[in-house]
Structure 1
Amino acid sequence: MVWVRAFRQERFPRARGSVGAARRFAGDTLADWGVRERWHDMRLCASELAANAVLHGAPTGRDFSIRLVRELHRVVIEIRDTGPGLPVVQCTALDAPSGRGLWLVRELADEFGVVDEPVGKTAWVAFASG
């Protein structure tokens, strides 16, 4: 059984400025919950997943959502959009200007996954937390 201690959710428009807003929302939520260990990694993962939703996931004119869940021994961050297709972790060349976001997310988080929803998908990460 999973014990959810708290959760917060917010929606953001498909706009570049929403990436920073989602990162701030995640950071503020984690700070409110007293989560300090790996705070920077969690914020970075929220930011990368939000950027992926803005650039590749959410259709024009649609929003994406971020949901943070504080469980007994972990924090889960979910980004949901309604766009088609599933994100793929790439092995990008070192000199490539982009394409390493999901690789970075997978490396930083304790768990990473993507759920294919009836409409769109949810990309999520989890971090062990005391």
Structure 2
Amino acid sequence: MGDTLAGWGVVERWADMRLCASELAANAVLHGAPPGRDFAVRLVRESGRVLIEVRDSGPGLPVIQCTSPEASAGRGLWLVKEVADEFGVLDEAVGKTVWAVFGVGTGR
């Protein structure tokens, strides 16, 4: 991901994008991809923004949890919602796509 962003000339918000991509991918592995199936990550550079999508083929839609301060898990989607400029879920015919958008400079 870092090489792709660098190739696009995107240097700002790199840590935020990496955090969100990591959280969405981890959720796909832990909760979304049934055994024997993969998930896909897609980055899209558009004018003034970067879109991160993670698609899996598992059933159900993710839910943002309100966890206690003592909890050791359950904050991933909440972090994505707080860090990204936009966040959402698309219910697909098979599985779902969870996405996050980040506003960035115009770059190259």
Deviation string for 1:10-54 (max 9, x for gaps)? Answer: xxxxxxxxxxxxxxxx22211221111100000010000000000
> Share of identical aligned residues, percent?
74
Q: For 1:63, what is the secondary structure of its paired residue?
A: coil
**Quick one: which of 94, 112, 124 aligns to 2:69?**
94
**Higher share in strand:** 1
SS of equivalent to 1:42:
helix
In structure 2, the residue matched to 1:65 is 40
Q: Please name the residue that 1:115 is paired with.
A: 90
Matched position secondary structure for 1:68: strand
* Further displaced range: 78-87 or 30-39: 30-39
Q: Which runs of 5+ in 2 are unaligned?
A: none
Q: Which runs of 4+ in 1 moved over 2 A?
A: none
Q: Provide the TM-score with structure 2 as the length reference.
A: 0.95
Within 5 Å, which residues of 2 pair with 1:1-40? Answer: 26-40=1-15
Aligned partners of 1:87, 1:27: CA distance in 2, in Å? 26
Gaps of 5+ in 1: 1-25
Quote the RMSD (CA, aligned, Å): 0.6
Question: Which residue matches 1:4?
Answer: none
Higher RCO (CA 8 Å, separation ≥ 6 residues): 2
> TM-score by structure 1 length?
0.79
